[in-house]
Structure 1
Amino acid sequence: MNASRIRAITVTASLASALLVAGCSSSGSGDSGESTTQAAPMAESDLEGAYQQVIEDVLPSVVQIDASDSLGSGVVYDDKGHVVTNAHVVGKEQTFKVTTATGEQALTAKLVASYPEQDLAVIKLDNPPSGLKAAKFGDSTKAEVGQIVLAMGSPLGLSSSVTQGIVSATGRTVSEPRTEGAPGATIANMLQTSAAINPGNSGGALVNLDGQVIGIPTLAATDPQMGDSAAPGIGFAIPSSMVKTIADQIIKDGRVTDSGRAALGITGRTVLGDNYRPAGVAIVDAQKDGGAAKAGLEDGDIITKLGNSDITTITSLSEALAGEKPGDKTQVTYVRDGSEKTAEVTLGEM
Structure 2
Amino acid sequence: TQGIVSATGRTVSEDSTGGGTGATIANMVQTSAAINPGNSGGALVDLNGQVIGIPTLAATDPSLGGGTAPGIGFAIPASMVRTIADQIIRTGKVTDSGRAALGITGRTVLDETYAPAGVAVVEVKPGGAADTAGIRPGDIITRIGTNDITTLTSLAEALAADKPGQRTRVTFVRGAAERTVGVRLGEQ
**Structure 2 length-normalised TM:** 0.89
Per the alignment, do residues 227 and 284 of structure 1 end up closer, same or farther by CA in structure 2, a change over 3 Å counting?
closer
In the alignment, does 2:62 pair up with 1:220? no
Shift of 1:175: 0.4
Count how many residue pairs are aligned between Structure 1 and Structure 2: 187
Per the alignment, do residues 201 and 295 of structure 1 end up closer, same or farther by CA in structure 2, a change over 3 Å counting?
same
User: Corresponding residue for 1:253?
Assistant: 91
Per the alignment, do residues 206 and 296 of structure 1 end up closer, same or farther by CA in structure 2, a change over 3 Å counting?
same
SS at match of 2:72: strand
Q: Distance in 2 between matches of 1:215 and 1:196?
A: 14
**Structure 1 length-normalised TM:** 0.50
SS at match of 1:185: strand
Note if contact 2:21-2:153 (Cα within 8 Å) is conserved in structure 1: no
Unaligned residue ranges in structure 2 (runs of 5+): none
Q: Distance in 2 between matches of 1:321 and 1:172?
A: 14
The AA in structure 1 aligned to 2:36 is: N
Measured against aligned partners, the alpha-carbon deviations of 1:201-225 in whole angstroms (never above 9, x if no partner) come to: 3111111122121111111222223
Q: Distance in 1 between matches of 2:135 and 2:111?
A: 20
The AA in structure 2 aligned to 1:233 is: G
The AA in structure 2 aligned to 1:253 is: T
Shift of 1:307: 1.3
Shift of 1:265: 2.1
Q: Distance in 1 between matches of 2:121 and 2:60?
A: 31
Q: Distance in 1 between matches of 2:83 and 2:48?
A: 21
Higher percent of residues as helix: 1
User: Corresponding residue for 2:36?
Assistant: 198
User: Corresponding residue for 2:79?
Assistant: 241
Q: Alpha carbon RMSD of aligned pairs, Å?
A: 2.0
The AA in structure 2 aligned to 1:299 is: P
Unaligned residue ranges in structure 1 (runs of 5+): 1-162
Q: Distance in 1 between matches of 2:64 and 2:122?
A: 37
User: Corresponding residue for 2:138?
Assistant: 300
User: Corresponding residue for 1:8?
Assistant: none
SS at match of 2:71: strand
Greater gyration radius: 1
SS at match of 1:165: coil
User: Corresponding residue for 1:143?
Assistant: none
User: Corresponding residue for 1:119?
Assistant: none
User: Corresponding residue for 2:17?
Assistant: 179
Measured against aligned partners, the alpha-carbon deviations of 1:143-174 in whole angstroms (never above 9, x if no partner) come to: xxxxxxxxxxxxxxxxxxxx213210000000
In the alignment, does 2:98 pair up with 1:263? no
User: Corresponding residue for 1:188?
Assistant: 26
Note if contact 2:3-2:44 (Cα within 8 Å) is conserved in structure 1: no
Shift of 1:183: 6.9
User: Corresponding residue for 2:113?
Assistant: 275
Tell me whether 234-243 or 281-290 shows the greater mean CA deviation.
Answer: 281-290
Per the alignment, do residues 286 and 319 of structure 1 end up closer, same or farther by CA in structure 2, a change over 3 Å counting?
same
Measured against aligned partners, the alpha-carbon deviations of 1:24-48 in whole angstroms (never above 9, x if no partner) come to: xxxxxxxxxxxxxxxxxxxxxxxxx
The AA in structure 2 aligned to 1:266 is: I
User: Corresponding residue for 1:323?
Assistant: 161
Shift of 1:271: 2.2
Measured against aligned partners, the alpha-carbon deviations of 1:257-295 in whole angstroms (never above 9, x if no partner) come to: 111111112222222222233321122233342222222
Question: For 1:1-350, what aligned pairs fall within 5 Å after superposition?
Answer: 163-179=1-17, 184-350=22-188
The AA in structure 1 aligned to 2:63 is: Q
Higher percent of residues as strand: 2
- Larger RCO: Structure 1 or Structure 2 (Cα < 8 Å, ≥ 6 residues apart)? 2
